[in-house]
Amino acid sequence: MKIVVIGKNGQLAWELAKFKSDEIDIICLGRTDVEITDKESLKETLIQCAPHAVINASAYTAVDLAETEQDAAYLINATAVGNLAEVCADLSVHLVHVSTDFVFGGKNGVPYLPNEPYEPLGVYGESKAQGEKLMTQIMSDQSCIIRTSWVYSSHGNNFVKTMLRLMAEKPELGVISDQIGSPTYAKGLAKACFTAAVNKVTGIHHWSDAGVASWYDFAVAIQEIGLSKKILDKAIPIKPISTKDYPTPAKRPNYSVLDKTSLVDAFPELSLVHWRAQLNEMIEEVKTNTL
């Protein structure tokens, strides 16, 4: 079996590349290998690769910048996803597309189910929602969407790595405590996407680590684990602050916990692991990489 992963240099694609085995070839394509905004070049590349499935791990992920770079966000998160769906439908190739908790508005007090209405609060969420709608219209019978939240890995830029850096540099930190979600280790998300591709899963599904946290809870755990693994050498005070004390160009959902039941029920091997245990594993990997 051959799987093409688009978005080679991103956090998720990096973890997906590790699923390459004697039985399953994983071909990761980046910007220099394929222009996802150009349908013809996309089609040519996929014909050459002849995959059984494609996983789209590419996206415009700069949430705040998207408010001013709207055209770029829509081009990559919506138009290119439509192109990819049309090409995969033409070639009868199964497509797994990754989306976001930011398609929701955050007013729920219980985890979001996959079929709940779209209510994006900013350009990033709106562009991802449009990409989902295009994909569903074009090839819902041969594709699936996996929404996720708060993704981090030892590769690339993310909240965990930013916190570890700031905790080493600053005398104290204020971190938002009134936005609640579920962190997601890219390694577990990669396993969910890989499983969906191999089993040709259809429909909309959710994946994150188990448990919930505020950004403040997440930061406190990062410091505790960083200290215990000695990649931080001193504890600094971390203060809970509210969203209104940390204004950002893009509005974010206050509550974006995702209900993961559909994938977990269908694939018990995708066992959910609590975010703190996953964080521990990721920080261990960061430590190993820096030794």
Ligand X SMILES: NC(=O)c1ccc[n+]([C@@H]2O[C@H](COP(=O)([O-])OP(=O)(O)OC[C@H]3O[C@@H](n4cnc5c(N)ncnc54)[C@H](OP(=O)(O)O)[C@@H]3O)[C@@H](O)[C@H]2O)c1
Among 60, 112, 124, 185, the active-site one is: 124
Residues 150-169 that bind ligand X (CB under 6 A): 150-151, 156
CB-CB neighbours of 47 under 10 Å: 12
> Quick one: 7 or 105, whose CB is closer to ligand X?
7
Residue in 211, 204, 206, 213 with CA at minimum distance from that of residue 189: 206
Active site residue 124: yes
Choose, by CB under 6 A, the member of 37, 137, 199, 242 that binds ligand X: 37
Q: Which of residues 114-133 bind ligand X (CB under 6 A)?
A: 128
Residue type, 133: K
Point out which span in 30-38, 45-53, 238-246, 274-282 binds ligand X (CB under 6 A).
30-38
Comparing every residue's Cβ against ligand X, the nearest one is 10
Q: Which amino acid is at 129?
A: A
Burial pattern 149-166, b for ≥16 Cβ within 10 A else e, equals bbbbbbbbebbbbebbeb
Q: How far is the CB of 125 from ligand X (least distance, A)?
A: 10
Q: Which of 3, 4, 5, 12 touches ligand X by CB under 6 A?
A: 12
Q: Does 182 bind ligand X (CB under 6 A)?
A: no
Helices first, then strands: H and E counts in the chain: 10, 12
CA–CA separation, 283 and 121 (whole Å)? 31
Name which position in 16, 28, 45, 58 contacts ligand X (CB under 6 A): 58
Which residue intervals of the chain are DSSP H helices?
Answer: 11-16, 39-49, 70-74, 80-91, 123-139, 159-169, 186-198, 215-228, 261-266, 275-290
Q: Contact residues for ligand X (CB under 6 A)?
A: 7, 9-12, 30-31, 36-37, 57-61, 76, 98, 100-101, 128, 148-151, 156
Task: Give the catalytic positions in this structure.
Answer: 124
